[in-house]
Structures are given as structure tokens and as C-alpha cells.
Amino acid sequence: MAEVIRAFSWRIHRNMSLSCGDTRDSLKSRKNFLESFRIDYRHLVCAKQAHGSNVKYVGQQEKGSGALDYDSAIPDTDAFITDKPGIPLAVFTADCLPVFLYDPKNPAIGLVHAGWRSTRQEITAKTIEEMIREFKTDPEDLYVDFGPSIRCCCYEVEKKFEEYFPLGLKQRDDKYYLDLVEVNKKQAQEKGVRQERMLDLGLCTSCRGNDFYSFRKEGKDCARLMSVMMLK
Ligand SMILES: [Zn+2]
């Protein structure tokens, strides 16, 4: 079985973004956080995340894109896939959901930035489709992990979301709450991922403001946590 690194940073690791929040110490913070996984922060592959559903295959050529400055990040992308070892993929979130996909059989990984817009555009389903196409991944072999995000305990949305999400909307006291994990889980399940291979840590970025960043709570100057994934 191939080995993989899957991790996300916490507030204690500080801001990981080069485009949001106070970015002055972000490179140093990335370096410190990634050192514990023996990942060179200069190799990181980052995107200009766009709340869309573009999935990008990355290889040696993309290694280091967006690692040292935001300008060199890969444009208009919200999910990465690779079958190349030693290429650390990263997504940045504060409430949005990071989704980690791992195929141990044909060693390959995918990392997704799933906010509501990308979720509505079925980004997790599309990433799995790309893994099937590029790596001949059998969805039954896939492990899918869900990182920290705002949860339906806190994620109040407008009523019109009923049209966008036939599933995943909860109603409490005339208010509507979205369960991002449920919708993305469903997409994975419909692509053939086994229920017992999906793991949700259940961490709410809004409830746990001491541990994570929450865009909803902190507003436009909010920092970002980083999810990172790499085949060893
Ligand atoms: Zn919550």
C-alpha cells in the first residue's frame, strides 16, 4: 500500500494564505507547519481558488506553483489530482470544506476545495470522475476524508438554497442550514465510493473558533487554514 500524507492546519499554525488575511508571516507559517511532515514548503502546489468546479491534474511541471507567491498559483481551479509522489497539493479554507481522496491501489490522490458553489457544481463527483479517467481508479478503492468546515449547526443559508440542494438542507425554526458534508458524501456515494471508506471528523469551524478560522464569523480579513495531501 502506498503511503500518503493527509493533514490540515489549525489556528495555532497561523495564516497559511498568500492572498487572504494578514499574509506577512504566511510563508514562515507554511514552512513550520509542513516541516513536521517533511514537506518542503517551496514544493507546494496551490490554486487561485474560484468557487468553480475545475479539476486540475498536476505533475512535476506544476510543482511549486503558488508556493512562494500568489501570482504563480494555478488559476481558476478548486481541485487537484495527481499520481506522482512527492508533489504536495494544498487548498485553503475558512468555512469551506476540504475533501481528501485517496486511491491506494493505483496510487493517486485528489484534494478538493468545496464551498457551496463548487458543491452545487458537483466538484467532488467531478474529481472522482477525473481520477477514474486519468488513473483508472476504482471508486470502491477510494478513501474519502472530510476536513474542518462550517457545519449545519451553524451554516445558515437563504431559503432559495432549496432549489440548489434538494438534499443536505435542514430546517430549524423557519431557518435553513446547509450540510456541505452530506451533499459531498452523496456525490461520492453515487460515484461508487463505499460508505465505510468515508471519514468525517465532524469539526465545525464556526463552533470551534478557537481552533479554526471562520469566514462567517471573522469577515473579509479572515485568515485561512491549509489542507495538504501528498503521495510519498
Ligand atoms: Zn457549528
CATH number of the domain to which 205 belongs: 3.60.140.10
The phi and psi torsions of 226 (rounded to 5 degrees) equal -120, 135
pTM more than 0.85:
yes
Mean pLDDT of 108-114: 98
Instruction: Find the 153 Cα to ligand 1 centroid distance in Å.
Output: 4
Question: Residue 1 pLDDT more than 80?
Answer: no
Output the DSSP codes for 173-212: TTEEEE-HHHHHHHHHHHTT--GGGEEE---BTTTTTTTS
Number of domains in the chain: 1
Instruction: Find the 152 Cα to ligand 1 centroid distance in Å.
Output: 7
Res 190: pLDDT: 98
Mean pLDDT of 101-124: 98
Q: What is the DSSP letter of 29?
A: H
Distance set, CA 226 to CA 67, 141, 151, 168, 213 (Å): 12, 26, 18, 25, 10
Res 42: pLDDT: 98
Instruction: Find the 97 Cα to ligand 1 centroid distance in Å.
Output: 13
119's enclosing H/E stretch is helix 116-120
Instruction: Find the 151 Cα to ligand 1 centroid distance in Å.
Output: 5
Tens digits of per-residue pLDDT, 127-182? 999 999 999 999 999 999 999 999 999 999 999 999 999 999 999 999 999 999 99
Range of the domain at 26: 4-231
Res 65: pLDDT: 98
Res 2: pLDDT: 61
- Residue linked to cell 466538484: 123
Q: Torsion angle of alpha carbons 67, 70, 72, 77, nearest 10°?
A: 90
Instruction: Find the 6 Cα to ligand 1 centroid distance in Å.
Output: 23
Max CA distance (Å), the chain:
51
Instruction: Find the 202 Cα to ligand 1 centroid distance in Å.
Output: 9
Instruction: Find the 208 Cα to ligand 1 centroid distance in Å.
Output: 7
Instruction: Find the 155 Cα to ligand 1 centroid distance in Å.
Output: 7
Instruction: Find the 204 Cα to ligand 1 centroid distance in Å.
Output: 5
Instruction: Find the 104 Cα to ligand 1 centroid distance in Å.
Output: 32
Tens digits of per-residue pLDDT, 20-44? 999 999 999 999 999 999 999 999 9
Residues with beta carbon < 5 A to ion ligand 1?
A: 151, 153-154, 204, 206-207
What is the pLDDT confidence band of residue 64, given thresholds at 50, 70 and 90?
Answer: very high
Instruction: Find the 154 Cα to ligand 1 centroid distance in Å.
Output: 4
What is the pLDDT confidence band of residue 91, given thresholds at 50, 70 and 90?
Answer: very high
